[in-house]
A and B are shown apart, each in its own frame.
Chain A
Amino acid sequence: MRQQSMLARQLLYWLSMAAGLVLAIVPLPGWLDPVRPDLALLAMIYFILTSPRIAGLGYAWLSGLFLDVLRGMVLGQHALGFLLVGYVTHKLQLQMRMFPILQQAAIVLLLLGLYHFVVFWIDGLTGHGYTAWVRWLPVISGALLWPLVVAVGDSLTRRSS
């Protein structure tokens, strides 16, 4: 019984990673494109909070690497961002679980800011810098979507809210 649910849970993680990657490259209308939230990252944060034993750093790093292959400039850029956010989330998970949803969203805002900062910095270091302010919009859109991600995740894993 435990074995089965572990397997089902792992399948859910990989599927949600695939879904996050799909949503990262789905064509959106031009004005919506810069605001695209990083659903793969949000899903990863959610899974680290709910099942830290199964969703480890390897999972985070692989997600970031696949995202790199899909739309990164340098291989390893998003992997490092995902890894960093995953590590910080693991360290903070005990506190984060206890917070009300709004406070969690605030911390998610900071985590997204960290992720986008890492990507921005590496872009600059490798010569692909893009400094327009719109590149920081996904931080806000991701944090705003955090309650939705928690709601969807909870209903998918059948937890009581």
Chain B
Amino acid sequence: MVELTHDSRPIIGRGPPLTAYFLTLAAISIGLMVADQRYHQIDQVREWLSAVVHPVQRAVDIPFRATDWVTGSFADRGRLRQEKLELTARLRLANLQLQRFAALEEENRRLRDMRENTAGVVEKVLVSSILNVDLDPFRHRVLLDKGAVDGVFRGQAVLDGEGIFGQVTKVNAATAEVILISDAEHAIPVQSNRSGVRTIAVGTGDINKLSLPFVTAESDLKEGDLLISTGMGGVFPPGYPVAKVTRVKRAGSTFATGPATCCSSGSRNWHPANPPVRRRRGAETPRRAVAPLPRRWPRQRLPGPRAHPVRPAARRAPHRQRDP
């Protein structure tokens, strides 16, 4: 049973200030919510506040990283050898597939130039990892350990080793919140790699499934089709794998849904695991300098150093930005 404090001042006489306090703070709260929702003005405020709570996030994350490090340091030799063999085999396969990349890239650039489209570019990436912090359990968000100080911006695309992972929704001082493509509030424009059918893949709330609600019954989509990003809306870079079609239901007259599994394995086990996640930045790689891609297409192209002359491409009419 709780007891009164030893302070003998009467408690009952604290009426009026309380209500005034309450109304003031309530008004401030509502003001903050409106500003955050409509005007995005207070992203700066959120950044400052996040600098205060950042130690809390780190405090939660560090024990998990420490145990990972400890178990890693004490891994037995047999397991390490096995891992090394597997990784070498995968690397060899990846190198093999990459040999044709240079030729394909050049051919692609020539074809695009012929059609007077904007040239495809190689973007620069920032590697980050996921913090072991649980955000809202009902929404698919993760926290990355790079933030505003590292140049992360809102709407930046995030990829992992196997495909598109999500995009950045909130930028804090040293962390960033990412919404996964499987979140129910997320939609990404995709294209079938085989048939070129364009549609939009919407998150379902199930971490392994996306749905394609805007597909007509006559579209050429089959099970096993790889869906890649089209780059429409300027958020995600084009050509990256998003999902594979697992089921096509031709229900009713007009629409069919094809639930697609997420390619990105990061979304399957993002919960406890800590996979490195690449974050796309936009601009040039050190090896082959090409004209930098504007951060949020279709803004003005930024001038930059070029290793070889690139024909300036005509600018397309701007599309409406998708709100993340």
Contact = CB atoms under 8 A, between A and B. Distances in A.
B65 to A, nearest CB: 12
A24 to B, nearest CB: 8
Interface in A8-56: 18, 21-22, 25-28, 30, 33-34, 36, 46, 49-53, 56
Given A27-B134, A53-B9, A75-B42, A70 B56 contact: yes
B26 A77 contact: no
A69 B53 contact: yes
Which size class do A's interface residues fall under? Answer: 35 or more
B137 A33 contact: yes
B32 A50 contact: no
Chain A contact residues: over half helix, strand or loop, or mixed? Answer: helix
A74 B33 contact: yes
Contacts of A112: none
Contacts of A134: 138
B5 A77 contact: no
A27 B132 contact: yes
Contacts of B46: 69, 75
B76 interface: no
A58 B24 CA distance: 10
B133 A27 contact: yes
A73 interface: yes
Interface in B191-224: none
B22 to A, nearest CB: 5
Interface string A119-151: 000100011101010110000000000000010
Given A79-B29, A87-B18, A71 B136 contact: yes
B134 A26 contact: yes
Q: Which of B5, B25, B134 has the most CB of A within 10 A?
A: B25
Given A25-B135, A33-B137, A75-B42, A50 B36 contact: no
A57 to B, nearest CB: 5
B177 to A, nearest CB: 9
Contacts of B29: 61, 76, 79-80, 83
A52 B4 CA distance: 10
A125 B296 CA distance: 29
B21 A77 contact: no
Interface in A104-130: 122, 126-128, 130
Nearest to A64: B29
Interface of A: 18, 21-22, 25-28, 30, 33-34, 36, 46, 49-53, 56-58, 61, 65-66, 69-71, 73-77, 79-80, 83-84, 87, 90-91, 93-94, 97, 100-101, 122, 126-128, 130, 132, 134-135, 150, 154, 159-161
Given A75-B49, A83-B26, A160-B3, 20 more contacts: A21-B56, A25-B134, A26-B133, A33-B134, A33-B137, A52-B14, A58-B25, A61-B25, A66-B49, A66-B53, A69-B50, A70-B56, A70-B135, A75-B46, A76-B28, A77-B33, A79-B25, A83-B22, A87-B19, A97-B4
Interface of B: 1-5, 7, 9, 11-12, 14, 18-19, 21-22, 25-26, 28-33, 35-37, 42, 45-46, 49-50, 52-53, 56-57, 59-60, 64, 132-139, 172, 185, 271-272
